[in-house]
Each structure stands twice: as C-alpha cells, then as structure tokens.
Amino acid sequence: MPEFALDPKAAAWCEELRTLAAQRLRPLAEAGEPGAVNRPLVAALGELGLLARLFTAGSLDLCLMRESLAYGCTEAETALALQGLGAYPVHYHGTDAQRARWLPEVSAGRAVAAFALSEPGAGSDAAALALEAAPDGEGWRLTGEKCWISNAPGADFYTVFARTTADAGARGVTAFLVPADRPGLSGEPLEMLSPHPIGSLAFDGVRVDASDVLGEVDRGFRVAMTTLNLFRPSVGAFAVGMAQAALDATLAHTAGREAFGGRLKDLQTVAHQIAELATRTEAARLLVYAAAAAYDRGEADVPRRAAMAKLLATETAQQVVDAAVQLHGARALRRGHLLEHLYREVRAPRIYEGATEVQREIIAKELYKEAGLS
C-alpha cells in the first residue's frame, strides 16, 4: 500500500525534487530578504509546475512534495505550502469568476496568496474570531485585526475569515476573498524566529460583497477546516523532511568526527541515540503517509489521523533537530549552519495550523466519538 512503500516512480520524483530544491531553489532562497515574500522563489516554483500541481495533487502527493522540498530548501517548501494554504479555499470553494481571476496567477507564481485566520485573541481557538463583518447594504464592512498571518503584508490576496453573526461561535463565520489593494486594508511585518514572512493585518471598514464570499455565508468555518484537514498531514511531511535532513547531517558528522580516541559513531551512547532518532523519524513518516492516503480515499477518520500525523511528526522533528545540534556541538550554533537554520525553522510547526495541545484534544475527541462514547 502507498502509505508503507513508495513505488519506484514516486521515489525517483522525490529524489528529483530534493535535487531541484538544493541546486536551483536554495540559491534563490539565500538571495532573498528574510521575513519578506521571495517573489523570484515563488516564480521558480511556478515555472517548475509545482504550484499548479497543488490544485491537482492528492494529500499524499502534497506530502511528498513538501517532504522533498523541505529536505533541500525549507524556504521553497514554505513558499509552496503558503501558496496552497491561501489559494486552496478559492480552488475548492470559490466561484468560477474567483477561480478564473486568481488560480492561473497563483499557479504561474505571479500572485502571492495568504490564509488569514488567526487573530490577536484567536489563535488555536479559531471559533473565537472577532474580526467583524458588519452588514452594509448588499455587502459587509470588515473591521478588526488579523495576526501571525504568513505572507502578510506582502500577499496579493487573502482568504479572510470574519464574523458575520455575533455570538454564534463557529457557525457565524464567513470566508471572504479580499484583494490586498482594497481600501482600508493595511499591514505590517512581524519579526519572528522563523525566516519566512509573517505579518499582521488591519481592517478599517474594508468593503466586501457577495462576489467576495468563499463558500456560504456563516459557513466559513467549513472552508477553514476542509483546508486544514488537507494541509495538516503535509505539515507533518514538512517536519519529516527537516528531521531527515538533520539526521543525515548527523550521520555524516558522527562518522567523521574524532573524539575520545575514536569516532563519535563508535560511542554506544551516540550510536543508540542515532538509532532512536532514525526510528522515530521513520515512524512519523509512515503516520504522515497513512493519514494522507486516508484523506485521498475519503475515509471518515481523517481528522484523527491528520492530527496524529501532525502531532508526532512535528514533535519528532523538534527532538531530532535538537539532538543533532547537541551532537554537532558549537559549530551547529553558528549563523548559516544547516542545523542553526533548521533549529529556527522546526519550532513553528508545533504551533501553527493547530498547536500540539489542540491536536491532542482533537485526537481524544475523535477517539471517544469513534467508540460511541462522546
């Protein structure tokens, strides 16, 4: 079954992506400005056909792309994922006019998308959104803030979630497609630990109407969840790619590093640690593939599987990268070292698209529901 072993064609494609990431995409990433949208990198992803593939790929295909790119260039992986996260609601829930306007531009790498869900007071608790969509004639006026938004404020359009019905929890949220040039919309970048662009957005009476709605009014939470259910296993794939890169670097280092009269790899404590890290990485990979394959088959237990995959993979990647830094010693802390870069990158996935604690809550609820005990 595909979740347990890749066929030769898929394995060869993953190796090709690793090579492309290292040789073509990494130089573009290194030439970019940290914390800003790297448009040449996005354009290259479009030229390679990877962005267009976001809208035809299944979940397993998406995971293979993200894992392979992450291994060779985390910035390329993140640029790809953010385009998918911001534009997938348009692909899946948008009108014909919305799709025709934006998807060809996203696929070609000419337009940058963003997924604007989180707020200063509503991160993991997405149902607590406070961005107000006040009725205004045939449309609404958006007033409030969004925060921790990837690609903000440099995106060309945003999938924005706003409250159209007060005191209705998840049932009163609507998704809107908001171009960045709408009057009243502004933003500023935030300096974060990870190098990819993140910012805040301010909505000062931004006008939207029925032609901007994604899906149905007051059903925007469904738009958010269908998007996140697809992308959660692939966040795990991103983490697995980073873990594998750190593990491979550590294998090479410990095999060649002389210490205490021999090589590090010959110390039992080191060898056993490497074995443990490799086992955990492979277990995370298999859980990610299984969740993605379940999504592609349309199985009912996708929320639990996706949460398990993201939980195990992101926590494992943090453990592997941290251990890799320890085994490399001070050299891994120098700015520009692969592990210094991974150390900054690996922390955020444990928070975004549902923090580790939220994934545990989802898993527990789904287990009780599946057992008929909810």
Say if 1 falls within a structural domain: no
**Position 328 in a domain:** yes
What's CA 278's distance to the chain center, in Å? Answer: 23
Whether 228 is in a domain gets the answer yes
Specify the number of domains making up the chain: 3
- Same-domain check for residues 88 and 157: no
Helix (H/G/I), strand (E/B), else coil: 219: coil
Phi, psi of 208 (to 5 degrees): -135, 155
Residue where a domain terminates, one of 165, 198, 218? 218
DSSP letters, 153-218, are TT-SEEEEEEESSTT-GGGGEEEEEEETTSTTEEEEE---SSSS-EEEEEEEEEEEEGGGEES-TT
| Residue listed under structure tokens 């059903």 | 219
User: Which of residues 74, 108, 142 is at a domain's end?
Assistant: 108
Phi then psi dihedrals of residue 202, to 5 deg: -120, 130
Domain that holds residue 332: 222-370
Domain co-membership, 226 together with 353 = yes
Domain containing 291 — which CATH number? 1.20.140.10
Q: Do the beta carbons of residue 133 and residue 217 sit within 8 Å?
A: no
Give me the helices (H) in 263-328, please: 268-297, 302-328
Q: At 299, list the tokens.
A: 């199985």
Closest CA relative to residue 60, chosen from 68, 52, 72 = 68
In a domain, 309, yes or no: yes
Sign of CA dihedral 55, 59, 61, 64: positive
CATH, residue 156: 2.40.110.10
Whether residues 357 and 241 fall in one domain: yes
Note whether residue 65 is domain-resident: yes
Same-domain status, 295 and 247: yes
- The catalytic position among 353, 357, 366, 370 is 353
CA 79 to CA 99: how far, in whole Å?
A: 20
Specify which residues 163 forms β-bridges with: 132, 173
Residues 129 and 183 reside in one and the same domain: yes
Q: Is 72 exposed, middle or buried (0-12, 13-18, 19+ CB in 10 A)?
A: buried
Is the domain of 258 the same as that of 314? Answer: yes
Q: What is the mean pLDDT of each run of 10 residues along the chain (374 residues)?
A: 74 96 97 94 98 94 97 97 97 97 98 96 78 96 97 98 90 96 97 90 98 96 90 94 98 89 88 97 96 93 93 98 96 95 95 92 95 90
Residue 2 included in any domain: no
Would residue 164 count as lying in a domain?
Answer: yes
- Looking at residue 122, its pLDDT comes to 80
Residue-level pLDDT at 257: 86
Shared-domain flag, residues 179 and 47: no
Same domain for 143 and 272: no
Cα 67 from chain centroid (whole Å): 11
3-state secondary structure (DSSP) of residue 54: coil
**CATH code for position 52:** 1.10.540.10
Q: What does the block give as tokens for 67?
A: 């894992």
Q: Does residue 350 share a domain with residue 234?
A: yes
Residues 152 and 213 in one domain: yes
Is 203 within the bounds of a domain? yes
Last residue of a domain, one of 218, 242, 262: 218
353 belongs to the catalytic site: yes
350, 356 Cβ separation under 8 angstroms: yes
Count of alpha carbons within 13 angstroms of residue 370, beta-carbon side: 13
Is the same domain home to 199 and 259? no
DSSP code, position 259: E
Let me know whether 63 and 200 are in one domain: no
